[in-house]
Amino acid sequence: MNTATILENVKEGGAKGMGVPLVLMMLLAMVVIPMPPIALDMFFTFNITLSLVVLLVVVYTQKPLDFGVFPSLLLIATLLRLALNVASTRVVLLEGHQGGDAAGKVIEAFGSFVIGGNYAVGLVVFFILVIINFVVVTKGAGRVSEVSARFTLDAMPGKQMAIDADLNSGLINQDEARARREEVSNEADFYGAMDGASKFVRGDAVAGILILFINILGGLGIGMIQHDLDFATALRYYTLLTIGDGLVAQIPSLLLSTSAAIIVTRVASTQDVGSQVISQLFANPKSLTVAAGVLFTMGIIPGMPNFAFLTLALLAGSGAWFIAKRQEQAQLQEIPAELEPEAVAPPRELTWDDVQPVDIIGLEVGYRLIPLVDRNQGGQLMDRIKGVRKKLSQELGFLIQPVHIRDNLDLSPNSYRLTLHGATVAEAEIRTDRELAINPGRVFGTLQGVETKDPAFGLDAVWIEPDQRDHAQSLGYTVVDASTVVATHLSEILQSHSHELLGHEEVQQLLDVLSKTAAKLVEDLVPKTLSLGQVLRILQNLLMESVPIRDIRTIAETLAEHAVLSQDTGVLTAAVRVALSRSIVQQLVGPTEEIPVVVLDPGLEQILQQALLSSEDGGAGFEPGLAEQMQKALVETANQREMAGEGAILLVAAPIRPWIARFVKHSVPGMQVLSYNEIPDNRQIKVVATVGKSSGELGDGLG
């Protein structure tokens, strides 16, 4: 980086960017340039003030990362203190023979007033401060920093995996995941930096002891040899000044060491240290009550300091009584108003507000499943359901309505029920104290537990104890907890019934969003060309066949183009499918250029087309045996494709595709039906099976 770049950065940063360089220049000046006593007084006072400010910021910080600059600030404050030691040593040795305030008023005050002018007392106080700082505070803080850094680094992979899991389940978005990853990285960097910064603090404590002895010995030599002072006078002058200098340096050092110890032993919380102490230490009045009893007992013993013990016993007992009364008042305020005794009000007149609408999506749980939906008991199902709604809304293209959860005493304790528009669509039983090991189709052993079926997909599964999770996963089972079972079941139900969740209000919202970017398109489509109900029916047809409606612009443009030719919703749905063919095929087979398909025998396909044309209601007339044979042939073909590891895609002529799709949906689950004109130009088809080719009797019963 050249000089011009540096100057440009300083210019952009303004005064904020000059703070640290100025402090470093000040440190260098104190080491090199002799400082007058008044300047030393200012710097010593600034050092004490800085230490107090840092301590208070640490106390009021809610989590360590909120004060992430602390390690660097700790290093700068330590260097400032050492530079002051060098500057004060120079002044003490040069001017100490004059005694008094030769090294400034601050050092004189600490050497005379604080320790009473007795250097023996000063030495004892200084060594006690050093022992407290070095042996207790600094050593403990350094050990906590080291352990915290180690555990934080060890926990990083697990935290990253948890963030990825929340992102994949839809609980958080990309921005929140990025912020969490950055916080995890910053946390590791912070504790690593604190581990290193604590070594500087320990070194500073050792340096304080060495500087004390060097200054005393050097002062005695200079005073007796250069200034002809007798031993007692030199010892008194230089020892008092040196001890005053040491105390001025050790007190800020002890404050910063205490700050470091507090910040590394903090647990992230929404409260500062003071609030945590008050809320946690005095939360239970029993502790103060017992303490008051012990103090009272000791206070009535003859020979004990009765006044001190009895006074503190009275204070502790008063505090316990005050806390107990406050908790009692808080409990009374939490009692619902309807439980309080009141005058019975006359019954009010019924209104339409008393007619409750039917829940669009409902989840009813037995009483043993209530902890799953109660966040106060650690339940995660609410967050899982929110993630399911978010994921499906993004995939399908419209906002999934909220899920109304309520308990139902008519259900068995471990059962839950899913409802749509007030009607039950699914019901299952789970075990909250166990985990579900699902057999995905290929496992390498058996498990001890309660055999069952996966509620979502009907796969074989076993309810196992939580400590069997690792063993089950090693055998190839997919293991999920009870909340995930319910959330997955709900996701599957909502996806398969998505067309029932789309209503007039949701379609209007889609059009309102589209009108922000294509106002003219929406204006020409609804209500000029099609009614809102017709658009709703077309979108429901798409969702019924698992076609997302995310690309609402393409859908609207296709409808505006073809609606002038036909108002039939079936014809318009087919036109929209052709317009969305690329995304439909992409969803079925991915980016591969060759699409493996199953086709109908040409003769059978021609007969079906004739039957559909001759039918008045748009359906084909089948003999019962013929429908059964056709279903059997399609099921066999679908099973063969599944064993080959490929999905079954039936390719038919466009006129019969809607009818075949309805027939296949109920008789051959998993098989998708495409028409020939829904194959994109950049894809090729590969016929892997033909249905009806070897079964000539399939065409005999058509009429």
d(CA 242, CA 240) in angstroms, rounded, equals 5
Structure-token pair, residue 507 = 């379609």
Residue 381 exposed, middle or buried by CB count within 10 Å (0-12, 13-18, 19+)? buried
User: Under a CB-based contact definition with an 8 Å cutoff, are residues 237 and 195 in contact?
Assistant: no
Determine which of 196-200, 313-317, 583-587, 589-593 has the lowest per-residue pLDDT on average.
196-200
Determine which of 252-266, 353-367, 437-451 has the lowest per-residue pLDDT on average.
252-266
Span 140-163, pLDDT tens digits: 777 777 777 777 777 677 677 777
Write down the pLDDT at residue 380.
Answer: 86
User: Under a CB-based contact definition with an 8 Å cutoff, are residues 420 and 497 in contact?
Assistant: yes
d(CA 584, CA 575) in angstroms, rounded, equals 13
Greater confidence (584 vs 375) lies with 584
- Is the model's pLDDT at 634 over the cut of 60? yes
Span 579-594, pLDDT tens digits: 999 999 998 888 888 8
Residue 650 exposed, middle or buried by CB count within 10 Å (0-12, 13-18, 19+)? buried
Determine which of 218-227, 269-278, 406-415 has the lowest per-residue pLDDT on average.
269-278
d(CA 164, CA 184) in angstroms, rounded, equals 13
Q: How confident is the model at residue 340 (pLDDT cuts 50, 70, 90)?
A: very low
Cα distances from 215 to residues 88, 92, 422, in angstroms, run 10, 8, 88
Q: How confident is the model at residue 199 (pLDDT cuts 50, 70, 90)?
A: confident
Highest mean pLDDT among 223-237, 254-268, 585-599: 585-599
Write down the pLDDT at residue 270.
Answer: 52
Q: How large is the average pLDDT for residues 503-518?
A: 93
Write down the pLDDT at residue 339.
Answer: 42
Cα distances from 472 to residues 367, 441, 487, in angstroms, run 29, 14, 21
Q: How confident is the model at residue 117 (pLDDT cuts 50, 70, 90)?
A: low
Write down the pLDDT at residue 206.
Answer: 75
- Is the model's pLDDT at 575 over the cut of 90? yes
- Is the model's pLDDT at 102 over the cut of 60? no
Mean per-residue pLDDT of the chain: 80
Preceding peptide of 305 cis, ω within 30°: no
Q: How large is the average pLDDT for residues 508-513?
A: 93
Q: How confident is the model at residue 220 (pLDDT cuts 50, 70, 90)?
A: confident
The tally of CA atoms less than 13 A away on the side-chain side of residue 165 is: 10
